[in-house]
Amino acid sequence: MSSTTHPGTSPSTAPRRDLAQIGLAAVTAVVGAYTIYDASTLQVGFADPVGPRLFPYAIGTGLLVTSALLVVAALRGDLPEAEGGEDVDLDARADWATVAKLVGIVGLTIATVGFLGWAISGAILFAGSTWALGSRTLVRDVIVGVVLSVLSWYAFYVGLGIPLSAGILDGIL
């Protein structure tokens, strides 16, 4: 049985290649190439010197360069340093119950935002997320959720001019 090694190295000192990095580089390259292709299909008038294509071209090029550098680093055997974690138990299993609660809260928000409006659905999202993540102060969480959702509704609607759904509070907000 033979093994391939680099000249001057033994099998135990051959660089390890992280396939996850190469996979990430491939996905990044695909996204960058699609971004550049999509930017090339934009219809631009002749009077706009910079145009809407500049930023997609820059982002796509940056993604392609990043993916090429990541492939080079992975093939050289550069491995990222393992996360030590300050107060994270790396051997602990995932808490799928918390993930399921958060997915349920986000799903409920998506399902109700059209009817209830952002002010109510956002309050449910904020308060429900804190509950799912372990908070036991329901009254405070609901008050903070209502304040955050109403303030964000006004920030988008009045400040940015982006209309969010008022839902059943239409005419009140």
- 161 with 104, same domain: the answer is yes
Nearest to 123 by CA among 105, 136, 103, 137: 105
Of 47, 76, 105, the residue at which a domain comes to its end is: 76
Structural tokens at position 132: 């799912």
- 70 with 106, same domain: the answer is no
Residue 85 has pLDDT above 70, yes or no: no
How many Å apart are CA 167 and CA 128, to the nearest integer? 19
Number of structural domains the chain divides into: 2
pLDDT interval class at 90 (50, 70, 90): low
Is 11 within the bounds of a domain? no
pLDDT at 53: 78
- 53 with 114, same domain: the answer is no
Cβ(138)–Cβ(131) under 8 Å?
yes
Is 91 within the bounds of a domain? no
Is 2 within the bounds of a domain? no
Domain span at 52: 19-76
Is 116 within the bounds of a domain? yes
How many Å apart are CA 41 and CA 35, to the nearest integer? 10
pLDDT at 2: 44
Residue 84 has pLDDT above 70, yes or no: no
Residue 14 has pLDDT above 80, yes or no: no
- 108 with 165, same domain: the answer is yes
pLDDT interval class at 149 (50, 70, 90): very high
Looking at residue 32, its amino acid is G
Of 76, 105, 120, the residue at which a domain comes to its end is: 76
Check residue 45 and report its DSSP letter.
Answer: -
Mean pLDDT over 33-50 rounds to 81
Of 42, 76, 110, the residue at which a domain comes to its end is: 76
Is 84 within the bounds of a domain? no
- 72 with 109, same domain: the answer is no
How many Å apart are CA 67 and CA 86, to the nearest integer? 30
Mean pLDDT over 4-16 rounds to 55
Which uninterrupted H or E stretch holds 136? none
Ramachandran angles phi, psi of 45, nearest 5°:
-75, 160
How many Å apart are CA 171 and CA 5, to the nearest integer? 73
Average pLDDT, the chain: 84
How many Å apart are CA 6 and CA 148, to the nearest integer? 58
Residue 118 has a CB neighbour count (10 Å cut-off) of 24
- 165 with 100, same domain: the answer is yes
pLDDT at 95: 86
